[in-house]
């Protein structure tokens, strides 16, 4: 398996523009997570899905952020409009779940480095 795939790897955009980040989880994994990492705030969970359904979006900073998972093999994180403070590395991760006592190991993608000028 190729692992978790994210695109693009780097994104530079101007304030006010829409940004869409993409993620393809590992085949067969039923949990998908979106994280944001900055020097100041560390690694923050934004939202996670189970079987394509959003379970907890309490980490989404504000209404400018939205995430979708239309099928088991694809998810998007959209920021509209983008602001300079959104500059960060955004990671997608997936896990096999497997129930309450199942596998919790998360597999991370390489990340998308977003710069908003």
Partner 1 sequence: SQQGEEDPQALSIQEGENATMNCSYKTSINNLQWYRQNSGRGLVHLILIRSNEREKHSGRLRVTLDTSKKSSSLLITASRAADTASYFCATDGRYGQNFVFGPGTRLSVLP
Q: Does 65 bind partner 1 (CB under 8 A)?
A: no
Q: Does 54 bind partner 1 (CB under 8 A)?
A: no
Over the window 80 to 109, marking each residue x when it contacts partner 1 by CB under 8 A and - when it does not, the resulting string is -----------x-x-x-x--x---xxxxxx
Structure tokens at 44: 């923050």
Cα Rg for the chain, rounded, in angstroms? 14
| 24, 73 Cβ separation under 8 angstroms | yes
Output the CA torsion 106→87→40→77 (10° steps). -30
Q: Does 74 bind partner 1 (CB under 8 A)?
A: no
What are the DSSP calls for 6-31, one per residue?
A: EE-SEEEE-TT--EEEEEEPPTT--E
Q: Does 112 bind partner 1 (CB under 8 A)?
A: no
Q: Does 72 bind partner 1 (CB under 8 A)?
A: no
Which chain residues interact with partner 1 by CB under 8 A? Answer: 4, 31, 35, 42-43, 45, 48, 50, 55-56, 91, 93, 95, 97, 100, 104-111
């Amino acid at each position: 398996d190729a692992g978790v795939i994210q695109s693009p790897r780097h994104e530079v955009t101007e304030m006010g523009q829409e940004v869409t980040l993409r993620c393809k989880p590992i085949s067969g994994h039923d949990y998908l997570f979106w994280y944001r990492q900055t020097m100041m705030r560390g690694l923050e969970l934004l939202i996670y899905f189970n079987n394509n359904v959003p379970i907890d979006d309490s980490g989404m900073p504000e209404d400018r952020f939205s995430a979708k998972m239309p099928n088991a093999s694809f998810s998007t994180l959209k920021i509209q409009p983008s602001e300079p403070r959104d500059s960060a590395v955004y990671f997608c991760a997936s896990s096999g779940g497997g129930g309450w006592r199942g596998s919790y190991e998360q597999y991370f993608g390489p990340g998308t480095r977003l710069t908003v000028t």
